[in-house]
Amino acid sequence: MTISASRPAAAQAPGPARRIQVLGWIAFLAVLVAEAVSLWTSPPDRDMGHLQKLMYVHVPAAWMALLAYGLVFVLSLLYLWKRDERHDLLAAAAAEVGVVMNALALALGSIWGRPTWGVWWTWDARLTSTAVLLVIFLGYLALRAFTEDPDRRARWSAAVGILGFLNSYIVYMSVRWWRTLHQVQSSPETLDPIYTRGLRMNAIAFLLVLVYFVARRYRAARLERAAEARIEEAALAGEGVHV
Amino acid sequence: MSDWVYIVAGFGLTWIVLIGYAGYLRRRVRRAEAALAEVLEGGKEAEK
Amino acid sequence: MERVRGWRRELARAGAIVWKDLTAERRTRANFNAVVSLAVLTLLLFGFALGPDTEALRAAAAGVLWLTVLFSGVLAFNRSYQLELENGALDTLLLYPGERRSIFLGKLGANFAFVLLVELVVVPVAAVIYNLPLLRPFPGLAGVMLLGTLGFVTLGTFYAAMASRSRAREVLLPLLLFPMMIPVLVGSVEATSALLAGDPMGDSGAWLRLLVVFDLVFLVASVLAFEHVIEE
């Protein structure tokens, strides 16, 4: 009986699941609407023509990846400070979603780069540092997968998440200097207001998707941890009975 | 015209990834729920 | 006054660990010899892979040199904890009173010395087989080697504290470490090749500053984070 009293909250609370599902439908609908509107309204770009439309998925995906990694950074610091398991599980959720968004952004950048630059890949500062971030956080996920003890996993991955995020800016700066030294012009940054509006709409839709993914992934992590903790408890209790 | 091939590929890939990952999460949550329910069942059996 | 004495005691502890590890390394020496042999072999392999054109080889030499250092150095880091883990000495080390960070600084110092010694062999060998001028750019080159190696060893020592105690440590350490090393790799290679070419544009200074920033940021971050990583 004492066991059920100390059961983790996630075990008996399926409450927010419904709300998350609703958020999911809204998020996907928002992406659909944002894409439709922005595809419909944006005129072909002077230089890139219709290819400019790829910006509406590529850029939001990259932003969401960065946002997710920023979340990992903050949650990792919080975990090391407060030692609350929920921060760790949420950080892991954000990292996985960030990796998905990051991979998507890279693939889209490649698809976009082929017709505009004529190559699938270029050693552009932003593209390259995004790739480095992807590998850094793949390492984060690998570390988690290879570490069984939950307390250890939480502390270690928090450290890796913090250092990885700290490095992202240094990586970006170093690649940029590297490029300028080798005299390659990077792409211009001006954007017409009509494109900005479409981009903003898509970014908000992607943000909803990001929140939905993280919430869902977090729920999975909570349930998995609850089952794991329960098994540990049962094992300890079982030992007590037999001895 | 061939520009549209890349645009369709980009948007198509986006939807494949988003829906694919949503499906993966769905399966993962289901599995976790089932595993937890099983563990809790087992606990009750043992208590009897 | 009290604080100064505390710092001094910590440094003494770190020094003791450096001394202990280096003595153990000197006694067996087999590990060092193996790593150096592998590094020299790597230099040769790059030479074969990149072709016999002397000019092309010389142009690629800085990159080859640093990749060789990275690939041979990574072999040393896991080992520095593994020996402790095998005979349970890490637990004993942790039991000693005092700050945990002196353990990190000690391991860092020992690894730093180890990799520098490897470089002491690798750089002259590379200079011979890739036909590089060593004496002219010497002071700057030594600075690049020290700063680049410090950044590499700091994060290597830090990640090895985790990787060496996990499953699949052989693949996990490079997977965690190498992506983090990209600023160090870019900075060191660029500074090295600029110096080898006589630094006509004065580029090496900017890259040295990048290395200093990287070293400082990650030295502080990993010393702070180490206590959370090592606690059991």
The ipTM estimated for the assembled molecules is 0.89
**By three-state DSSP, how is residue A45 classified?**
strand
Query: What percent of chain A has pLDDT above 90?
Result: 55
**Span C79-91, pLDDT tens digits:** 888 877 777 777 7
Q: Which residues contact C83 (CB under 8 A, 6 or more apart)?
A: C24, C89
Query: What percent of chain C has pLDDT above 90?
Result: 52
Residue A186 has pLDDT above 70, yes or no: no
Q: What percentage of chain B's residues is helix, strand, coil (to nearest 5)?
A: 95, 0, 5
**Span A20-69, pLDDT tens digits:** 889 999 999 999 999 999 888 887 777 777 888 898 999 999 999 999 99
Query: What is the C-alpha separation between A85 and C168, in angstroms, rounded?
Result: 25
Say how many C-beta atoms besides its own lie within 10 A of residue C224's C-beta: 13
CB pairs under 8 A between A and B: 91
What confidence tier does A189 reach under pLDDT thresholds 50, 70, 90?
Answer: low
Predicted pLDDT of residue C23: 85
Query: What is the C-alpha separation between A45 and A33, in angstroms, rounded?
Result: 21
Give C102-134 as a 3 state SS string.
Answer: HHHHHHHHHHHHHHHHHHHHHHHHHHHHCCCCC
Best residue in C199, C228, C230, C231 to probe A by mutation, most A CBs within 10 Å?
C228
Give the closest of C183, C203, C229 to A159, CB-based: C229
In DSSP terms, A49 is beta-bridged to: A45
Pairwise CB contact (< 8 Å): B14 & A61: yes
Best residue in C81, C164, C165, C175 to probe A by mutation, most A CBs within 10 Å?
C175
Chain A partners within 8 Å of C188 (Cβ): none
Which amino acid does the sequence have at A22?
A: V
In DSSP terms, A45 is beta-bridged to: A49
Q: How many residues does chain C have?
A: 232
Predicted pLDDT of residue A4: 41
Residue A80 has pLDDT above 50, yes or no: yes
Domain A14-235 of CATH type 1.20.120: yes
Give the closest of C172, C217, C225 to A170, CB-based: C217
**Quick one: how far is CA C42 from the chain centroid?**
17
**Span B23-35, pLDDT tens digits:** 999 999 999 999 9
Averaged pLDDT score across all residues of chain C: 88
**Span C146-169, pLDDT tens digits:** 999 999 999 999 999 999 888 888
Residue of A nearest to B43 (CA): A234
Q: Show the CA angle centred on residue C222, arms to residues C219 and C226, nearest 5°.
A: 140
Pairwise CB contact (< 8 Å): A223 & B39: no
- The region that residue C194 occupies, defined by phi over 0 for left and psi between -120 and 50 for alpha, beta otherwise, is alpha
Pairwise CB contact (< 8 Å): C166 & A136: no
- Which residues of A lie closer than 8 Å to C, measured between beta carbons? 80, 132, 135-136, 138-139, 142-143, 146-148, 155-156, 158-160, 162-164, 166-167, 170-171, 173-175, 177-178, 181
pTM over 0.90: no
Give the closest of A50, A97, A209 to B3, CB-based: A50
What confidence tier does C1 reach under pLDDT thresholds 50, 70, 90?
Answer: low
